[in-house]
Structure 1
Amino acid sequence: MQVFKFGGASVNSTERIQRVASILEGHKGQPLVVVISAMGKTTNELEKVAEAFYRGHAAEALDLFEAIKRKHLDIYNALIGDGRGQEYLVDLFTEVEWLLHDRPVREYDYYYDQIVCIGELLSTTIMHRYLDHAGIPALWVDVRDILRTDAGFRDATVDLEYAAAETKRLLTPLLEKGRTIILQGFIGATAENESTTLGREGSDYTAAIFSNLLGATSLTIWKDVEGVMNADPKLFSEAQVIPELNYTEVIEMAYYGAQVIHPKTIKPLQNKHIPMHVRCFLDPSLPGTLIHDQPVHSLPPVIVLKQHQVLLHLKSRDFSFAGAHAGALYTLLKDLHVQPNLIQNGAITIQLCVDDRGERTERLAQAASAFFDVSVERGLTLLTIRHYNTGLLETLTEGATRLLRQQTAETVQVLLRKA
């Protein structure tokens, strides 16, 4: 039994959906779980809908959502032809439109999840209907019935015990009959049936959870690149495929922000020694990257650039050691679900680098002001190089101001203000 995960790039056009279908057709009659992300940039587009709604701009939110509806209906009609089955999409559209006609009375993250989760529901519905149209048997399952989470909206924690029981009840009997099951990545639901999301790129994590719970022989992540690369090929033309990695290296890469695998993905696989393949859906004949628990040597430098960084300058008000308030700061980070990317302590100062998460970053700065004088610097870039060398570091930081630097024998991180 295998688990496949297809990212947004693999389902963002009729031609690519047909490519995915041809891959699945090659596994017809075999037990297979297929986890699918939202189409293309749909999550980004839905984020704009959520932002407009929360600002009280209902008309703008509805207009933005109308464009998303039209895009999905156009792809659906191009695939199916006669438009049969559109009611499945219309029902999903209606759920969001009802919400958009209300006024926000809860926190932004709650509305974000209720709106953004529609992307995966739409993409999987379209894929399922097309597979049925093409004569490829598959079953659509709402993953929110299985992945129960807490109410940590935008970064929810999955109740794995509940998920295991529901997976055994709902999915195992189908897989024992050799069925293909279509699931949504990235989303879950609370016990009150409020939709939640698992963090950006969380579809990988969804696939890893089901790989673990079902004891899969392997997990394959299908992407629009040849495999895991040592840098973003859109930014570095000399980026190269890494044919083999181990779990530890991938966890390090994910922790520092490499957009290849969700940071939570590896542990469920590692616990059961499940290998993961990263392969190209545009050319399935390519070998891709194998990720397992064996040692791997002679890796190239791995370059990660994280844009939109915020540096919080925290200074003790009474010249007491800043470390006396470090515990309170870490509690704030945990409570607000903020992951620190870089922390550097001085005698009376703490420098804290985090992703710019808008309102959540503002809440962090405001809460930290109970202990520190706080100033905020935005628009920064965090450069991380694994297996670095001095020449490469100098080249990549040339012309920028280095605000912070930390390094170990394997990894260097530099926070940059571009000229």
Structure 2
Amino acid sequence: MEIFKFGGASVKDALGVKNFKRVLEKLEAKDVVIVISAMGKMTNAFEGLVRAYVDKDGHVEEHLTTIRNFHLDILDDLDFDQDDSIFESVEGIFSDLSNFLTKNNSTDYDYIYDQVVSKGEMLSTRICSAYLNRSGIRNNWLDVRKCIKTNSDFRRARVHWEATEKAIKTELKGKGITITQGFIGSDNYGRTTTLGREGSDYTAGIFAYCLEAATVSIFKDVPGVLNADPREFDETRLIEQISYKEAIEMAFYGASVIHPKTLQPLQRKSIPLRVRSFLDTDAKGTFVGSELDIVPKTSCYIVKKNQILISISDKEFHFVMENDISEIFRMLHELKLKVNLIQNSALSFSVCIEDNFNNFERLLQNLEPGYKVKYNKNLVLYTVRHFDEKAVDELEKGKELLLKQRSRETVQLIVKA
């Protein structure tokens, strides 16, 4: 058994879906679970729908129409007959979505988010599965919510591994090609949950672990793992091979090619991972495995934008002690504020965070009664793995530096955007 994962860029339009089919034909895919993300920028579009619904801004129907027409246009471009059952499947998903938006009584943003945004993966997999079947590539469509069992922590659900492994082995019957969704799971009450942004890679890792897959292939619109984001740096190099440990380090610091949680289940069972291009299946891409030196040995650059740097000190100029830091981290955890860097001194504690859940103002309200708080928004965090002084000097040039931290292998810089 192999696991393939295709991101939204690979199926962003009808040409992408057709190329997806060609990739499977060229690779002679047989016994494979294929995990697919929402098409193109549809996750962003569904997020816009959620905001409009929660804010009651009067544009819900406009968002729904845009999303619906996007998918119907792809069906038209794929030349489906109007009586094909795929139209009934797609309309059924939109009917379920409309019913939820009409009948929902919850005000929990994260719960609403998961019920709505997850429809992007349901639509993409239905369309891709139907197109393959029509093209003679027989496959089974699987609702991943029957398989991946999680807690009820919406938007960043934790996997119940024992229940998930049992469900996957029960639902995945026989051999052949199975099409399923990334990013999604369900809790004990049958409610849809999601595994975090870019969680489709993690889904591939979960299936690989539970099925003891031979390999995992993640197909991207880049040649593999690069030493820098080509959108941010003019010159980049392909990393030909890398260890699980190094890849986890890079993912932890924010490298976007591999989801941070994806590698851990693969490492536990030594399942090799290949990151490769869906545009050039002959290219080797990047191989990730056990105990591998990084090849080539080069500085690797990771960029995270929209960062917030907070400096926290005691109002009475007391030392910032372990109990203070523990309390601050409790607040950060409860408000789902992701920590990317910390620095401590006798009188202050600085932390660089990203506010993915729009909870920063609540953090300030919680901190200000007991602490003096200073902060800067809209910052950029640069992380350089395997740095040399020349690389760091070049990166600092022309930037307003707010904080710098280094260890043996890594330098981090926080600068104004």
Q: CA deviation at 1:68?
A: 1.1
- Render the CA deviation track for 1:251-309: whole Å, top value 9, x for unaligned: 01101101110000111000010000011111101111100002314521111111111
Alignment of 1:14-413 (within 5 A): 14-26=14-26, 30-57=30-57, 59-83=58-82, 84-85=84-85, 86-101=87-102, 105-171=106-172, 173-174=173-174, 178-297=175-294, 298-323=296-321, 324-413=323-412
Counterpart of 2:59 in 1: which secondary structure? helix
Q: CA deviation at 1:331?
A: 1.9
Q: CA deviation at 1:160?
A: 0.8
Q: CA deviation at 1:29?
A: 7.0
Give ranges in structure 2 of 5+ residues lacking alignment: none
How far apart, CA to CA, are the structure 2 residues paired with 1:67 and 1:213?
38
Amino acid at match of 1:228: V
Q: CA deviation at 1:179?
A: 1.4
Q: State the TM-score, normalizing by the size of structure 2.
A: 0.95
Quick one: structure 1 residues 142 and 82, their matched pair in 2 at CA, closer, same or farther if it must change by over 3 Å?
same
Counterpart of 1:166 in 2: which secondary structure? helix
Amino acid at match of 1:33: V
Give ranges in structure 1 of 5+ residues lacking alignment: none
Counterpart of 1:181 in 2: which secondary structure? strand
State the match for 2:414 in structure 1: 415
Contact 2:146 2:171 in 1 (8 A): no
Counterpart of 2:359 in 1: which secondary structure? helix
Amino acid at match of 1:282: L
Contact 1:28 1:136 in 2 (8 A): no
Counterpart of 2:155 in 1: which secondary structure? coil
Contact 1:62 1:97 in 2 (8 A): no
How far apart, CA to CA, are the structure 1 residues paired with 2:242 and 2:256?
15
Amino acid at match of 1:374: V
- Render the CA deviation track for 1:320-371: whole Å, top value 9, x for unaligned: 2222311112222333333210111122221111113252233333333354
Contact 1:246 1:295 in 2 (8 A): yes
The worse-fitting range, judged by mean Cα deviation, of 321-330 and 222-231 is 321-330
Count of matched residue pairs:
413
How far apart, CA to CA, are the structure 2 residues paired with 1:104 and 1:302?
47
Q: CA deviation at 1:42?
A: 0.8
Amino acid at match of 1:118: K
Q: CA deviation at 1:17?
A: 0.8
Amino acid at match of 1:97: S
How far apart, CA to CA, are the structure 2 residues paired with 1:216 and 1:358?
34
C-alpha RMSD over aligned residues: 1.6
Contact 2:221 2:277 in 1 (8 A): yes
Amino acid at match of 1:115: V
Contact 2:37 2:124 in 1 (8 A): yes
Contact 1:307 1:380 in 2 (8 A): yes
Counterpart of 1:3 in 2: which secondary structure? strand
State the match for 1:6 in structure 2: 6
- Render the CA deviation track for 1:44-83: whole Å, top value 9, x for unaligned: 11111111111122x3122112111101111012214313
Contact 1:53 1:104 in 2 (8 A): no
Q: CA deviation at 1:103?
A: 6.9
Amino acid at match of 2:347: I
Q: CA deviation at 1:104?
A: 6.2
Contact 2:337 2:355 in 1 (8 A): no
Q: State the TM-score, normalizing by the size of structure 1.
A: 0.95
How far apart, CA to CA, are the structure 2 residues paired with 1:267 and 1:180?
25
The worse-fitting range, judged by mean Cα deviation, of 296-305 and 148-157 is 296-305
Identity of aligned residues (%): 38
Q: CA deviation at 1:310?
A: 1.1
Contact 2:305 2:380 in 1 (8 A): yes
How far apart, CA to CA, are the structure 1 residues paired with 2:112 and 2:244?
35
How far apart, CA to CA, are the structure 1 residues paired with 2:195 and 2:367?
26
